[in-house]
Structure 1
Amino acid sequence: MNILILGGTTEARQLAGALAARDDLAVTLSLAGRTASPRAQGVQTRIGGFGGAEGLARHIRDENIGLLIDATHPYADTISANAFRAAGETGVRFLALRRAPWTKRPGDDWTEVGTIAEAAKALGAKPVRVFLAVGRKDIAPFETAPQHAYLVRSVDPIDPPLAVPNATYVTARGPFGEADDRALLERHRIEIVVSKNSGGEATYGKIAAARALGIPVVMVRRPLLPEAPSAETVEEALAWCDHALTVAAMRGV
């Protein structure tokens, strides 16, 4: 059976690797191509978009995809919506692999907002030193708050840079541990952290470090995603795949 995994996350890579070890499956991992040099995935990989829900539906039919798994980033809401719609149009078995969001712990000082633009406003009028860890595609709204000093971390370089007078850029690829992120926050004298609620362990270091240092966090809530069959872990996704394959075999599909 052909399986298409929409990826870009650690979980997508892990799931693809586990499924690729089976000789009864052909696994393709699709990446949007937003990162210039993506990490090696270890399985057959496709780079680039499909052309919306219609293009994805066409690909599913053309490639005889039997299972479609959306394991994209929790904030890739357009891709997730397209996957849900394409699954409905084609009738392909569909699963959303969505890691659980982070939850506040004792000592956390979070201001939760709905959008990146709201996060920029939440920084306030007084100049502060801000660590932006929201991805390079989402930093433009902070140009409306040029009074702050920004530390921006991203996988790829920021081009063009933010149109603000004081910004420092760090290119790095996670995972990021608490000790390293604590050192980063202390070195740059960060006063506020801005983050998406991505969940998982790979980028939690900054949240734990902020808690330890007593630094407030502006947390951007996740977008609303389609209500689809879902799993929170790779293990749950593998169990779902086993069940789907068993059902398919019983039906002779």
Structure 2
Amino acid sequence: MHVLILGGTTEARQLAGLLHGTPGLDLTSSLAGRVASPRLPPGEVRVGGFGGAEGMAAWLREHAVDVLIDATHPFAGTISFNAAAAAATAHVPLLALRRPGWAPVEGDDWHEAGSLAEAAELLPALGQRVFLTTGRMGLSAFAHLDALWFLVRSVDAPVAPCPARMEVLLDRGPFTLDGERQLLRHHGIDVLVTKDSGGAATAPKLTAAREAGIPVLVIRRPPTPEGIPVATDPESAADWVMKRRAL
């Protein structure tokens, strides 16, 4: 059985770790290649795009893939739709591994936006010193906000155009609550901007913001294909694969 896992997420690596070494199971993980030094999962790894849904379908056929797992980032965009179309074309069973999103709790001051552009429109009314944790791409949406100061945290250097008043912090999660508290205090942050990525690795910033009484501007997840079975954790996804293997 040949399993292809799409995504360089924590959950994708954990799933690869659960499946790697299973007798009679060949495992390939596919990374988009957007991070310069990604954390590699166990097993075979390919890096780069497929050339859209048609290219992915051709790859599935050429490499005799039996099961496809979409474990991409919740904000990866079109890849999930390409995976759904490719799986249907190549007649390969598809499972989506999607971490649950975050939810506000008592004491949170959350504001929602449907996109980076909408977040930029709402931001000036919420604060002046911004902790921006939406990744290195898409900063152009905030580039015109000259009156605001930004602390931008990302794994790799941001892509221009960027805000004029900006400090860059290159770092990779998981992050600690104490570390996030200190970061907010040290930089005088009065508003946090984040995507609803979910997961525990970057969640401490939400707790730190709540404790400090700082508003959080949360960008909602984009739509995903309908009708695809979903697992919310790597263990459930591994069980699904093993059940398919037993058929």
Provide the TM-score with structure 1 as the length reference: 0.94
| Identical aligned residues as a percent | 49
1:12-23 matched pairs, under 5 angstroms: 12-23=12-23
Which aligned pairs between 1:1-12 and structure 2 lie closer than 5 A? 1-12=1-12
Instruction: Go from structure 1 to structure 2 and tell me whether the alpha carbon gap of 1:210 and 1:173 turns closer, same or farther (over 3 Å shift).
Output: same
Q: Over residues 131-181 of structure 1, what are the superposed CA-to-partner deviations in whole Å (9 max), with x where a residue is unaligned? A: 10000112110013221000000000124361x331000000111121111
Hey, what's the Cα distance between the residues in 1 that align with 2:126 and 2:237? 46
1:133-212 maps to which residues of 2 (within 5 A)? 133-160=133-160, 162=162, 164-212=163-211
Aligned-pair CA distance for 1:126: 8.0
Displacement of 1:124 in angstroms is 2.2
Which aligned runs of 4 or more in structure 1 are off by greater than 6 angstroms?
none
Deviations 1:102-148 (A, max 9, x none): 01111111001100100111112686000100001121100132210
Name the CA distance, whole Å, in 1 between partners of 2:114 and 2:191: 17
Gaps of 5+ in 1: 248-253
Decide whether the 8 Å contact of 2:109 with 2:215 is kept in 1: yes
SS in 2 for 1:132: strand
Question: What secondary structure, in the 3-state scheme, does the structure 1 residue paired with 2:103 have?
Answer: coil
Does residue 1:220 correspond to 2:219, yes or no?
yes
Q: Which amino acid in the other structure matches residue 152 of structure 2? A: V
Cα displacement string for residues 66-104 of structure 1 (whole angstroms, at most 9, x for unaligned residues): 000000000112111100110111110110000100011
Q: What does the per-residue CA deviation read over 1:43-84, in whole Å, with 9 as the maximum and x for residues that have no partner?
A: 211000000000000000000000000000001121111001
Aligned-partner Cα distance in 2 for 1:241–1:153: 35
Residues 180-207 of structure 1 deviation map (CA, whole Å, 9 limit, x = unaligned) = 1111111100010000000110110111
Give the 3 Å change call, closer, same or farther, for CA 126–241 of structure 1 in structure 2. Answer: closer
User: Residue 80 of structure 1: SS of its match in structure 2?
Assistant: helix
CA distance in 1, matches of 2:100, 2:188: 30
Q: What residue ranges of structure 2 are gaps of 5+ in the alignment?
A: none
Cα RMSD (Å)? 1.2
CA 1:126–1:195: 2 relative to 1, 3 Å: closer
Contact persistence 1:126–1:147 (CA under 8 A): no
Q: Distance in 1 between matches of 2:127 and 2:134?
A: 20
Q: In 1, Cα distance between the equivalents of 2:239 and 2:188? A: 45
In structure 2, what is the Cα distance between the partners aligned to 1:215 and 1:116? 19
Measured after TM superposition, the shift of residue 235 of structure 1 is 1.2
Cα distance in 2, alignment partners of residues 21 and 146 from structure 1: 53
1:90 counterpart letter in structure 2: A
Is residue 127–residue 147 contact of structure 1 (8 Å, CA) maintained in 2? no
Q: SS of 1:200's equivalent?
A: coil
